[in-house]
Structure 1
Amino acid sequence: MTQAQIQHDKHLLGTKGLSAGELESILDRARYWEQHPVKKTNQLQGKFVANMFFENSTRTRFSFEVAEKRLGAEVLNFAAAVSSVQKGESIYDTVRTLESMGIDAGVIRLKPNGLLAELASKIKVPLINAGDGNNEHPTQALLDLYTIREQFGEFRGLHVAIVGDVQHSRVARSNLWALKTLGARVSFCAPPGMQAPELAEHAPYVTIDEALTADVVMMLRVQLERHEGTLLSSAAEYRASYGMTVERAGMLKPHAIIMHPAPVNRGVEIDDELVESPKSKIFRQMSNGVPIRMAIIERALS
């Protein structure tokens, strides 16, 4: 393996193209870190990791920061709102500047589609995708996989239904690629104006009643601001047709679980009283994000 190939393998740009072995390896290492008796280690002492968020984030950024600090890394937080990006500096020049200052890895979130792959081809330090446009969000998918495996033990034979704004969801795409690689059956459920037709060949679109027969029902955040003027432009209309209401939750299989990548629009995608119900794994997903991101950062820097 050449140095260029080794460097490429240190990036985590998406779940598409990762093998089942690679996915399981990350999940296994996350399990190691979850069970680690010491909260903070010196595993990455002397390593500098830059969190470069060109798009707002709360959960993902803080989860990465906790993971980095638990591994003993030095953390630099970059926010576009208070940077030279506001003066017109390009994203490439910003990342290249931080690379020139000696960072060892970068966690990056971007709005544009396609830019991350271009950056990764030019930047020598490993880059970890914390969400790029509506393309991929691999660490969210990996923590979702971890949560599912924790509940069911395996993926083969499971039916996962992903419900909501598939068109704009990078979470849906990363989960689709990873779940299919691991042998799960995936289906989508979305209003016509929120569907991504190009994904239909990989996972069928089903009705909400069909989605409720799944083992895992993954609700997506509905970005109503992107759908002004559509038939389902109000929160109340969306909830009535596609939301996880108390009534719909009562139709789920006894062993089924409800998931959501958050932030949650309570009373829209999911009724308020269901968010912390026994079937809901929403806060467990958030908790699992830290060991998953520890495993991914370690993968990049080991």
Structure 2
Amino acid sequence: MIHDFVNINQISLTDVKRFIILAEAFKQGASITLQRPAYALNMFFENSTRTHTSFEMAERRLGVQVLQFVPSASSVSKGETLLDTLKTLQAIGINLAVIRHSQNAYYQPLLQAHLTLSLANAGDGSGQHPSQSLLDLMTIFEEFNRLNDLKIGIVGDLAHSRVARSNAQILQSLGSQVYFSGPKPWLTADFRQWGKFLPLKELLPQVDVLMLLRVQHERFQAAEENAFETQSYYQQYGLTPARLAMLPQHAIIMHPAPVNRDVEIADQLVECSQSRIFTQMQNGVYARMAIVAALLASQGIIKEQELQELI
């Protein structure tokens, strides 16, 4: 089992499927036994509802005790480095730190320190969002019973999206075709290695999965924010009822949320029959239970054999 989970691409394709099977087992009511008390701290330096809450729900369902952390009230606000904060928490007895941070790859110096506590990356800037990728893969697998030979369309604010990068990389590795659409200035060079850019009207009729991305105003430069027009974006790139009719009937709609209604997707389509947006949120708890369980198993807090029996 892995000691830290910071990038979805750090695990093998076989392990991706094992994580999904374990998450599905938890979804069906499977439970595990802690060999000794375990303690977690969720350290969110950026705002979050879904990821923060579902990690805490996952931890509590596994019997882990969750301590509270408020960045503005911590010694980080006094200038303490994140590494020194984690060394302090480790000395106190924390087993797991779940971290969201605005800095891309913030975790690299932390991994080099070889901490005994485990790290779970809950999102780093515009870099990676591995737990979101795992829950997305779980949702796709539930629908199609496979992760290869699918056509995936990722549409929207590509430049600022850690979800887009994580999902594009892993889905291509798993053997699916990835397509991108949205404003061309947001198609940064790194995306070209994972898929092809298509106009939205060409992309929609052929995809099995349509992943919509939130417009991330908090990462905009001032000029970019001043030039953005909500109605114009919706008309050009949003999923309108007319564009929904262009999707194959078997296709599903996904969004990492929070959803900007009538921006990325029409308000009345957020919970339409093809939408799996709230299913993703539900699956997030079980995917994160699988992640937390694997990290605790690497420390001997959960017997690895117990997890293997669920897989």
Aligned residue among 75, 91, 94 for 1:84: 75
Q: Which residue of 1 aligns with 2:131?
A: 139
CA drift at 1:46: 0.6
Q: Tell whether 2:216 aligns with 1:214.
A: no
CA drift at 1:77: 2.5
CA drift at 1:81: 2.2
CA drift at 1:109: 0.8
With a CA cutoff of 8 Å and minimum separation of 6, indicate the structure with the bigger relative contact order: 2
SS state of the match for residue 252, structure 1? coil
CA drift at 1:45: 5.5
Aligned residue among 278, 286, 308 for 1:283: 278
Amino acid at match of 1:125: L
CA RMSD of aligned residues (A): 1.7
Q: Which residue of 1 aligns with 2:302?
A: none
Q: Distance in 2 between matches of 1:193 and 1:124?
A: 42
Gaps of 5+ in 2: 298-311
Which segments of structure 1 move beyond 4 Å, counting only runs of 4 or more?
A: none
Q: Distance in 2 between matches of 1:209 and 1:227?
A: 29
SS state of the match for residue 69, structure 2? strand
Over 3 Å counting, the alpha-carbon distance change for 1:43 and 1:32 in structure 2 is: farther
Q: Distance in 2 between matches of 1:17 and 1:298?
A: 17
Amino acid at match of 2:7: G
Conserved 8 A contact 1:224-1:234? no
Show the 5 A alignment for 1:96-107. 96-107=87-98
SS state of the match for residue 99, structure 2? strand
Q: Distance in 1 between matches of 2:27 and 2:255?
A: 21
Over 3 Å counting, the alpha-carbon distance change for 1:166 and 1:16 in structure 2 is: same
Show the 5 A alignment for 1:116-127. 116-122=107-113, 123-127=115-119
Aligned residue-pair number: 293
SS state of the match for residue 166, structure 1? coil
Q: Which residue of 2 aligns with 1:3?
A: none
Conserved 8 A contact 1:189-1:211? yes
Over 3 Å counting, the alpha-carbon distance change for 1:139 and 1:72 in structure 2 is: same
Q: Distance in 1 between matches of 2:100 and 2:235?
A: 33
Q: Which residue of 2 aligns with 1:161?
A: 153
Amino acid at match of 1:280: S
Conserved 8 A contact 1:227-1:233? no
Q: Which residue of 2 aligns with 1:75?
A: 66
TM-score, with normalisation over the residues of structure 1? 0.92
Q: Distance in 1 between matches of 2:254 and 2:35?
A: 32
Q: Tell whether 2:184 aligns with 1:192.
A: yes
CA drift at 1:43: 3.8
CA drift at 1:27: 0.2
CA drift at 1:185: 1.1
Q: Which residue of 2 aligns with 1:61?
A: 52
Over 3 Å counting, the alpha-carbon distance change for 1:291 and 1:45 in structure 2 is: farther
SS state of the match for residue 244, structure 1? coil
